[in-house]
A and B are shown apart, each in its own frame.
Chain A
Amino acid sequence: MYMGHYAIALGARRWLRPLPMAWLLFASIEPDLHDVLGSMIPGLGIGPDTHTLPGACVAAIAIAVITALAFHRAGLALGAGLLVLSHIAADYLTSRLPLWRHGPMVGLHLYATPWADFLLEAGTIAIGLTMYASSPDLRRPVRGGVAVIAVVMLTLQAIWNFGLGGG
């Protein structure tokens, strides 16, 4: 999954409003960033384990602990950890990934059918943004800002699905 991860973070903000948006977005894509940064910084690298259940659980615990230390709220820590776990749960829909290192490969691999993946991600974006827009702490009207976010996310998702030959 690509922009759907950010959509999940935007929707989850409804329950995690004290957390900075950048932290929510980061938590939602931690396994992907871990892949990239792990290739730059050897100490961070855990190889292909970033997208396995054990790897994601360790990352989720780490993010939850950091959140707890920084924000002193167990509920926020749990929410941030769940956002990390949502990453591989969503990726099992769009990709085929091992459950654990050398474990069985599971997943629907919707990337192989770009339209199906685009529709799933567009639906996730619509739900996530609708939940985000309903937050009571946003300045009204929110329509313009949310529309810009939607256009950016859908455009990048379309480029990912149809412009790069799929993921």
Chain B
Amino acid sequence: MGHFEWLMLLGFALPGAIICLIHRHLTRRPR
């Protein structure tokens, strides 16, 4: 796998992880 493929994976994984974390925070039920 070349540099472009790694960059592409990172380019999707990083914002995807941030969106999932924030979404998890926004959908967590208060105790």
Q: Report which A residues bind B (CB closer than 8 A).
A: 2-3, 6, 10, 21-22, 25, 29, 32-33, 35-36, 39-40, 137-139, 142, 145-146, 148-149, 152-153, 156, 160
Contact = CB atoms under 8 A, between A and B. Distances in A.
Interface of B: 1, 5, 8-9, 11-12, 14-16, 18-20, 22-28, 30
Contacts of A21: 19-20, 23-24
Contacts, number: 57
Contact of A139 (B8, B14, B27): B27
Mostly, the B contact residues are helix
A152 B15 contact: yes
A145 B15 contact: no
Given A32-B8, A139-B30, A145-B25, A3 B15 contact: yes
A105 B8 CA distance: 23
Contact of B26 (A32, A40, A138, A152): A138
Contacts of A139: 25-28, 30
Contacts of B24: 21
